[in-house]
């Protein structure tokens, strides 16, 4: 106490003292751990972690600085606009214009898929991208209507309201669902519950997207073949029946010829674009060129008089207000809120998949919670301005990236271009054939089917592949909802299966170390004579596997005994046990009793924090005479002393 030791040398001294302790003292470290935080504390911590993020609650700096940093956090545009310059704008302008040329025909097509009038697709490409541009953190994502969401929302809302019989009531339900979707998204972000979006596994998304792509493709047969009587159902069998029965009616081949030729044209430009990276703009503007050419052809040949179906009248002008169209009473509110929740999660899943993959390429981090708030607000404000659910589009984000966008300004450019088109050019779309819109949607679908990834999933994890194929078949043969349900169920059943699979493994000493490993994984590991070292292959010794696990261990013990090896000590390595419940503790007690009556001792090695805490609470430590050790090696050492 009197010598002038610095803090560092004291620490060093302590370490040296500790090194001198033998393992008997270290056993006390295992037993005398501080108490772990309780469940309540843990829940509170994760639920209220957002409090730290509200700047007014930590009043260290002046309020002006605080206010600005809060604004910056809410509107990332304030951070990057200070460094924005003419070069960046040139890139964004070019990207935005390319984006608009792809966006306009796609938006019209997706609006038809959502069973809304074409202008609603265009509206959705104006307001949401503008909101996202000031609130979002991704630099590449292209916001607007997408095919899967259009299919999802129409397939669910039309079960409540027929869009043909009462298009106004149908539109009101779609807008209300959009409002709910936005609210759920913003709430998920504000309460930092982004993990809910992860409830769809990667494998399930691959299967779901592929199934949805095929369903969307089949829906396009209506436009491509010019069928009048089509089904409202989305499953393969109903659609094929509808197509088959339409062949019995007289049908017009012009639609098909027109649509199919332009589909081939778009595919050729895509092929060229892929071969030569410099021609990236060719597949991007091919849809617009197709629309212009096809419209001209129909106008010049007057093909609309000969059975070619056209878009006809599109209402021009800026998005009208739709605040008064939202419906919060009536019989369907609960159902519509449910639709909103499902759509919100799928939309976020798609946007995150797109945003994260491009952020990873450019090497920056995407803040999931901020993204959710941005998407939520863009959809809430969208629902006030005649937009349906918007999210990040796979195909257009890729185009935006290839066109060299720098910031979300490309979204602003795109929105302004779409807005100008709405003001000036909607009348020109009168003669645009519907078949061409179907071709444009069809041409974007192959990007949703990722056979390569499905093969990788199969290779790495068979149960994951089951979730993938379950989602795929569910969407294809039942409904979109059932496909999602199948995928989520299989994914969670897998978690339960793996968590409670009560396997055991025997351990041996890995040569040249004090470590013990599975003798199957490390064939060079050496077993210690007279000692059986077991590890449970589970993280949770609980009611569902505790008894089975105990019996497995006893089976091993009896087998080893029968092989005429005299086992004196069974060491249970519970290092991978994260939690234990009362059934688990009871089974450990039974194991101890069973071994004891056979003249063997039980030692426990390397318990985790929560586990040793619960074993102490349940007075198990005293029952087995405190035979707890820091490691398997120390357990062996203490018994050979």
* CB-nearer residue toward its own copies: 80 or 522: 522
Q: Which structure tokens are listed for 262? A: 């332009």
β-strands 391-392, 504-509 pairing: unpaired
Q: Measured from the CB atom, is 194 or 626 closer to its own copies?
A: 194
- Compute, in degrees rounded to 10, the torsion defined by CA atoms 379, 384, 387, 393: -20
Q: How many CA within 13 A on the CB side of residue 187?
A: 11
- Beta bridge partners of residue 603, listed in sequence order: 571
The minimum distance between CB 617 and its own copies, in angstroms, equals: 5
**CB-nearer residue toward its own copies: 522 or 556:** 522
> Are 345 and 153 spatial neighbours (Cβ–Cβ below 8 Å)?
no
159 or 560: CB nearest its own copies: 560
**Which residue's CB is nearer to its own copies, number 54 or number 524?**
524
Our CB check for its own copies shows the closer of 256 and 548 to be 548
- What 3-state DSSP class applies to 119? helix
CA distance 252 to 259: 12
CA-based torsion, 355, 360, 364, 368: positive or negative: positive
Dist CA 111 CA 129 (whole Å)? 16
Assess contact for 336 and 177: CB atoms under 8 A: yes
Minimum CB separation of residue 371 from its own copies in Å reads: 12
Q: Give me the least distance between CB of 634 and its own copies, in Å please.
A: 8
Nearer to its own copies, 90 or 362 (CB): 362
Q: Of the candidates 101, 59, 56, which has an alpha carbon nearest to the alpha carbon of residue 420?
A: 101
- CB proximity list for 109: less than 8 A, separation 6 or greater: 121, 437, 438, 440, 441
Q: What are phi and psi of 36, to 5 degrees?
A: -70, 160
Do 189 and 370 touch, CB atoms closer than 8 A?
yes
Closer residue to its own copies, CB minimum distance, 349 or 383: 349
CB closer to its own copies, 297 vs 630: 630
Q: Where are the beta strands (DSSP E) in 293-335?
A: none
d(CA 146, CA 444): 10
Nearest-approach distance from CB 498 to its own copies, in angstroms = 5
| Residue 487 near residue 470, CB atoms below 8 Å | yes
Q: Which two tokens stand for residue 467?
A: 């979730």
CB of 467 to its own copies, least distance (A): 9
Residue 133 or residue 546: which is nearer to its own copies going by CB?
546
Q: Is 4 exposed, middle or buried (0-12, 13-18, 19+ CB in 10 A)?
A: exposed
Q: At its nearest, how many Å lie between its own copies and the CB of residue 502?
A: 7
* Min separation Cβ 582 and its own copies, Å: 5
Kindly tell me the sign of the dihedral angle through the C-alpha atoms of 571, 577, 579, 581.
Answer: negative
Tokens of 461: 């994890």
Contact present, 533 and 573 (Cβ < 8 Å): yes
- 165 φ, ψ to 5°? -65, -40
Classify 116 in phi/psi space as left (phi over 0), alpha (psi -120 to 50) or beta.
Answer: beta
Between residues 246 and 606, which has the closer beta carbon with respect to its own copies?
606
Instruction: Write out 415-454 in H/E/C secondary structure.
Output: HHHHHHHHHHCHHHHHHCEHHHHHHHHHHHCHHHCCHHHH
Determine how β-strand 579-580 pairs with β-strand 601-605: unpaired
Residue 590 beta carbon to its own copies: minimum distance, rounded to whole angstroms: 6
Q: How far is the CB of 464 from its own copies (least distance, A)?
A: 5
The nearest distance, CB 60 to its own copies, in angstroms, is 15
Q: Nearer to its own copies by C-beta: 561 or 590?
A: 590
Smallest separation (angstroms) from its own copies to the CB of 14 = 8
Supply 447's token pair: 């990007």
Least distance (Å) from its own copies to the CB of residue 563?
Answer: 16
Query: Which CB atom, from 69 or from 267, has the smaller least distance to its own copies?
Result: 69
Q: How far is the CB of 533 from its own copies (least distance, A)?
A: 15
């Amino acid at each position: 106490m009197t010598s002038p030791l610095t803090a560092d040398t004291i620490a060093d001294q302590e370490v040296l003292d500790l090194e001198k302790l033998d393992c008997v003292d270290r056993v006390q470290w295992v037993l005398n751990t501080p108490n772990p935080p309780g469940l309540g504390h843990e829940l509170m911590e994760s639920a209220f972690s957002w409090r730290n993020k509200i700047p007014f609650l930590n009043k260290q700096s002046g309020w002006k600085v605080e206010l600005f940093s809060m604004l910056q956090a809410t509107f990332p545009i304030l951070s990057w606009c200070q460094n924005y310059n003419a070069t960046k704008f040139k890139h964004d302008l070019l990207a935005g214009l390319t984006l608009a040329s792809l966006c306009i025909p796609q938006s019209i097509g997706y609006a038809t898929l959502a069973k809304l009038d074409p202008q609603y697709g265009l509206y959705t490409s104006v307001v949401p991208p503008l909101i996202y541009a000031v609130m979002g953190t991704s630099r590449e994502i292209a916001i607007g209507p997408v095919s899967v969401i259009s299919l999802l929302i129409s397939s669910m809302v039309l079960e409540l309201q027929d869009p043909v019989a009462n298009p106004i009531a149908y539109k009101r339900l779609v807008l209300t669902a959009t409002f709910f979707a936005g609210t759920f998204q913003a709430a998920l972000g504000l309460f930092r519950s982004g993990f809910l979006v992860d409830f769809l596994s990667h494998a399930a998304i691959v299967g779901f997207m592929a199934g949805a792509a095929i369903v969307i493709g089949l829906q396009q047969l209506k436009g491509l073949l010019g069928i009048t009587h089509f089904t409202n159902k989305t499953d393969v069998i109903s659609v094929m029946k509808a197509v088959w029965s339409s062949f019995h009616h007289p049908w017009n081949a012009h639609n098909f010829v027109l649509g199919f030729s332009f589909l081939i044209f778009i595919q050729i430009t895509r092929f060229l674009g892929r071969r030569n990276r410099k021609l990236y703009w060719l597949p991007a503007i091919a849809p617009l060129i197709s629309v212009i050419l096809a419209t001209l052809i129909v106008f010049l040949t007057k093909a609309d008089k000969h059975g070619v179906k056209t878009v006809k009248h599109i209402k021009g002008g800026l998005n009208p207000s739709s605040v008064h169209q939202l419906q919060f009473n009536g019989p369907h509110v609960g159902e519509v809120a449910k639709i909103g929740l499902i759509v919100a999660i799928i939309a976020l899943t798609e946007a995150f998949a797109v945003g994260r993959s491009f952020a990873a390429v450019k090497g920056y981090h995407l803040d999931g919670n901020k993204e959710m708030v941005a998407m939520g607000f863009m959809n809430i404000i969208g629902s006030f301005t005649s937009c349906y659910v918007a999210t990040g589009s796979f195909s257009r984000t890729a185009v935006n990236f290839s066109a060299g966008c720098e910031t979300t300004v490309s979204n602003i450019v795109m929105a302004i271009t779409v807005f100008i088109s709405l003001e000036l050019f909607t009348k020109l779309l009168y003669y645009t054939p519907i078949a061409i819109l179907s071709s444009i949607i069809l041409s974007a679908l192959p990007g949703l089917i990722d056979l390569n990834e499905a093969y990788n999933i199969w290779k790495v994890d068979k149960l994951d592949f089951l979730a993938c194929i379950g989602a795929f078949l569910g969407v294809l043969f039942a409904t979109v909802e059932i496909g999602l349900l199948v995928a989520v169920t299989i994914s969670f059943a897998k978690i339960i299966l793996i968590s409670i699979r009560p396997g055991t493994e025997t351990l041996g000493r890995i040569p040249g170390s004090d470590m013990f490993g599975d003798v199957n994984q490390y064939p060079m590991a050496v077993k210690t004579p007279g000692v059986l070292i077991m590890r449970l292959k589970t993280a949770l010794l609980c009611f569902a596997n505790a008894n089975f696990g105990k019996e497995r261990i006893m089976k091993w013990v009896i087998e080893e005994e029968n092989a005429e090896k005299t086992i004196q000590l069974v060491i249970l390595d519970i290092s991978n046990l994260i939690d234990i419940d009362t059934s688990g503790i009871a089974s450990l007690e039974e194991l101890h009793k069973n071994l004891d009556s056979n003249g063997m001792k039980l030692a426990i090695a390397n318990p985790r924090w929560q586990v040793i805490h619960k074993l102490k609470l349940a007075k198990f430590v005293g029952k087995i005479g405190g035979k707890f050790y820091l490691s398997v090696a120390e357990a062996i050492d203490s018994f050979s002393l």
